[in-house]
Amino acid sequence: MDAGEGIQRQVLAKGIGLNRDLSIIITHLHGDHVSGLLGLLQTMGLAQRRRPVSVVGPPDLLKWLKVTSELLHVGLTYPIEFHPAKAGLVLRTKSFRVRATRADHSVEAYSYLVEETPRSGRFHPEKAKKLGIPEGRLWSRLQHGKSILVDGKKVLPSRVTDPPRPGRRVGYSGDTRPARRLVRFFAGCDLLIFDSTFRGSDLDKAKQRKHSTCVEAAELAKRAGARRLALTHFSARYEDVTPLVTEARRVFPRTFAAADGMMVGVDYPGEGPESQSIK
């Protein structure tokens, strides 16, 4: 999600493989959100990547990539599959899908919702044994939601598994003013990462520069019924962002401040505590 300056160093530092399945999603064409993209793509080329990379972003992003790649003579070892951002579904993979909606910023910008593919229901071995289904390949097929034949009789997965379980949903606002459509768009997400550039007392600046305050982010998360809120994109004027978190928690207690290198676990819906420790 976005690729600011030096993103390739962050990827390498975190041990994220340069040849793994990867999708890059860009909210808008401001330098702090896109200036590291070309370097990341080139670093993957130097690692002799062969798999395609999906890139989602405003239509002008493709123009920027083409022009800068030509001027800098950047040759890639893999294809880029570009998906122009628009309201609605913009990307679907085996593991997740990505939906977008317009953000309210000073340039064309989008907010995104990443929705994990639903998982199969919990498998009950005792039920499979009772039906005389031998352990092994047939169990695996049932666990993956596929019907099987046993002694000429069709066995449906629903006889030995619980109903499918929903996947996790992570919302990412990018730079934006809060908007009613964002409340609907992020409804019920498990983790909402939201623009919190300013303190509540700096609302006029937030309006002028098309950003949100920490209080507005918390109010939106509360109205959307999000499970947790990560504040991000803090203005450099704040050496300590603790007061912003404190203000937000008065409205939405399950709030924390995002930071470089932070790793956050996201529980599946209906599983685990509502508030999980962050490392």
CA atoms within 13 A on the CB side of 157: 17
Q: How far is CA 102 from CA 13, 30, 173, in A?
A: 32, 16, 10
CA dihedral 7, 11, 17, 19 (to 10 degrees): 0
> In angstroms, rounded to a whole number, what is the distance separating the alpha carbons of residues 115 and 122?
20
Q: Which residues neighbour 90 within 8 Å (Cβ) at sequence distance 6 or greater?
A: 56, 83, 84, 98, 99, 100, 112
The residues, ordered by sequence, that sit 6+ positions from 112 with a Cβ below 8 Å of its Cβ are: 1, 25, 27, 56, 90, 98, 99, 100, 171, 172, 174
Catalytic residue among 2, 21, 32, 267: 32
Q: Could you give the CA distance from residue 77 to residue 96 in angstroms, rounded to a whole number?
A: 25
In the sheet that holds 80-84, the strands lie side by side as 23-25, 53-57, 80-84
The question of whether 104 is a catalytic residue gets the answer no
Indicate which residues carry an active-site annotation: 32
